[in-house]
Structure 1
């Protein structure tokens, strides 16, 4: 694997030299300063790449080139936005960047309800609690029809949880869910979020799938010509929330997308954390079966909890079966003779980072620990099999 870390640009509290010292050879990043739906200028891409290379690292994977909401709903200035997306791909290819990550989640990118959940050892992790989501949906957002989405037990638990919160706790929950987490391109207030949800009133799961296919059919022929692979990041969490459909949550979802858009450029960012929230996703088997379609790896693990909640576990812990995943990745790398870009994802906030301002999930030391563990696991598997990838 090619070892990378995510970097959020010049304003990231984690510096490029920190990433290099952690042992990575590259970063994955984006032009976060460019508004969603605008063209990424070639000179800005080249300047960012030069900055990264000057630090002794490389940039070959974009994370992410955002898909405007009008493309997801297939409305408004769809043709113009498609043309802009194509031009951004041309500009990235001209700078030697050949893997472009995107997602097709409506409105919200990855979603959590607690950004500093304390673990028994004192480190902090990201956590998702469906009862907290229901509390926000029912009593803060007050989304019309929200009660239909929750059973009576969840409604009761959400009401009790909401009643136990003071104003600060309620504001923190609201901000955590909708203000925009690292990597998200947009944030909302609750009234803005309600209005944005209304734009999806006629978009069910089948329609969203069709819109996803239409987007890929419009951009993949050019990506094929450019030698660029578009890799879709799975839904996080991998199920509908706030009445919004999500359609990249299971292996069957991905297989259907590949069948409908068979272009070589139509690929997958295999996130073992996002897919791993669902016990019905066989992560090592997905590596084996999806094979060459996998252009980028997010290696992390979540611990599923009994009530449907989950939290970010240690990279080699939790429910991901990381040793089996890594064995499958090594097998794929040897079979295809390629080094797949990877990054450790959503590390714990720990040690000195507990006293520093960090992006939630993207502090340095927790990810450095994860990278070291994953590097050691990969090397151990290679030595055990006697075949170096």
Structure 2
């Protein structure tokens, strides 16, 4: 597989020359300065691509060309927004960029409650505490009926949190869930938002009456509209699984398991409609057998995210060591090296190591933590390829 790295542009604290030195071949990036729904100009795409190529790298994958909320919930302006999206795809195609990772998650791109959950060795990683998220829904958002979505065990923990959380803890929880995990990925809410909770509530209200079937139909409508330009320029669209892969905030999630992925690929049965196989997101659902999913969907996978999670029975999960956890990355790599080699893959959500602290990296996107993971995964890839060559 091609070794790629998510890079957040010229504002990223990690420089392109640093990436080339550690064996990165391709860059996964986006025009983060352009607001959701606006057209990506061809000149801007070419300038961005040239900068990457001047460092001896290639722009391998766009992650992400964001899908506007109105497209997801079927707003009045969705056709205009889809036309803008098609124009952006056409400009990417003219620039020779052929792989686009996107998601169809309502409001929240990905959700974590703790951005610096400490391990025994002093490193830290992202963590999802289901009781904390329930507290956020019930007592901060005050979402009507939220209590019905949680077990009595979780609600008991929520009662304990209600007694123990300080005002600073609550502010940190709001920052983690609404702002920090969203703002740097073309999110709906950016750093410095004066009232993020109120804006978040307004976004949620747009999905009133949207159930799983309707969200699916809106995704199908979107894909059918963009497939002609994808065929014209040979652009591979690859949807990212929902993170975490189950309903949140009373909103439907539609890319969570085998049945969802089957539906998606069959609903628009076009070779340009594919999957970003994120082992980490899929592993956070205890019902998912990640290597089996990799085997089944290998041929329709266009891009691979390699990370893993450890999951407790109550739904809490933490980013695992890249050689451990439910993601079973060794088995996943074996599948893709056999069934669909040369796919771009990137390491995802590395730990924050001691010398990463204070460097201003985006949550989950440390330098040393991801470099460690890249070294581990590169070793697995080399071992897999060596064994395959011996058998051949």
State the TM-score bracket (shorter-chain normalisation): over 0.9
Whether the 8 Å CA contact 1:32–1:185 is kept in 2: the answer is no
**Matched residue, 1:289:** 296
Cα distance between partner residues in 1 of 2:382 and 2:34: 38
Whether the 8 Å CA contact 1:231–1:269 is kept in 2: the answer is yes
Shift of 1:184: 4.4
Shift of 1:307: 2.5
1:367 to 363, 366, 370: 370
SS at 1:100 equivalent? strand
**Matched residue, 2:214:** 207
**Matched residue, 1:223:** 230
Check 1:121–1:152 CA distance in 2 against 1; reply closer, same or farther (3 A cut): same
Q: Does 1:240 align with 2:240?
A: no
1:328 to 312, 328, 335: 335
The C-alpha deviation readout for 1:303-350, integer Å capped at 9, x for no partner, is 1123310000111111111111111111113xxxx4100000000000
Whether the 8 Å CA contact 2:245–2:281 is kept in 1: the answer is yes
Single out whichever of 287-296 and 42-51 deviates more from structure 2: 287-296
Shift of 1:159: 2.1
Cα distance between partner residues in 2 of 1:255 and 1:306: 26
Whether the 8 Å CA contact 2:4–2:60 is kept in 1: the answer is no
Shift of 1:59: 0.2
**Matched residue, 2:383:** 380
Check 1:184–1:388 CA distance in 2 against 1; reply closer, same or farther (3 A cut): farther
Unmatched tracts of structure 2, length 5 or more: none
1:345 to 348, 352, 355: 348
Shift of 1:387: 5.9
**Matched residue, 1:10:** 10
Unmatched tracts of structure 1, length 5 or more: none
The C-alpha deviation readout for 1:156-213, integer Å capped at 9, x for no partner, is 2112113211111100001110114242422271111112111111100111011111
1:278 to 267, 272, 285: 285
Cα distance between partner residues in 1 of 2:236 and 2:358: 39
Cα distance between partner residues in 2 of 1:132 and 1:84: 38
Whether the 8 Å CA contact 1:60–1:96 is kept in 2: the answer is no
Cα distance between partner residues in 1 of 2:383 and 2:150: 46
Cα distance between partner residues in 2 of 1:217 and 1:375: 37
SS at 2:275 equivalent? strand
Check 1:114–1:388 CA distance in 2 against 1; reply closer, same or farther (3 A cut): farther
Aligned residue-pair number: 385
Cα distance between partner residues in 1 of 2:130 and 2:278: 21
Cα distance between partner residues in 2 of 1:260 and 1:74: 18
Whether the 8 Å CA contact 1:227–1:265 is kept in 2: the answer is yes
Shift of 1:46: 0.4
TM-score, length of structure 1 as denominator length: 0.96
Equivalent runs, 1:1-389 vs 2, <5 Å: 1-181=1-181, 182-187=184-189, 189-333=196-340, 338-386=341-389
Cα distance between partner residues in 2 of 1:329 and 1:73: 34
Check 1:47–1:387 CA distance in 2 against 1; reply closer, same or farther (3 A cut): farther
The C-alpha deviation readout for 1:73-94, integer Å capped at 9, x for no partner, is 1112111111100000000011
Shift of 1:152: 2.8
The C-alpha deviation readout for 1:2-37, integer Å capped at 9, x for no partner, is 001000010011111111122111110000100000
SS at 1:230 equivalent? strand
Instruction: Point out 4+ residue stretches in structure 1 off by more than 3 angstroms.
Output: none
Cα distance between partner residues in 2 of 1:49 and 1:83: 23
Check 1:69–1:133 CA distance in 2 against 1; reply closer, same or farther (3 A cut): same
Cα distance between partner residues in 2 of 1:277 and 1:43: 40
Cα distance between partner residues in 2 of 1:88 and 1:271: 25
Shift of 1:279: 2.4
SS at 1:378 equivalent? helix
Cα distance between partner residues in 2 of 1:43 and 1:251: 40
Cα distance between partner residues in 1 of 2:99 and 2:147: 41
Single out whichever of 239-248 and 216-225 deviates more from structure 2: 216-225
Whether the 8 Å CA contact 2:32–2:186 is kept in 1: the answer is no
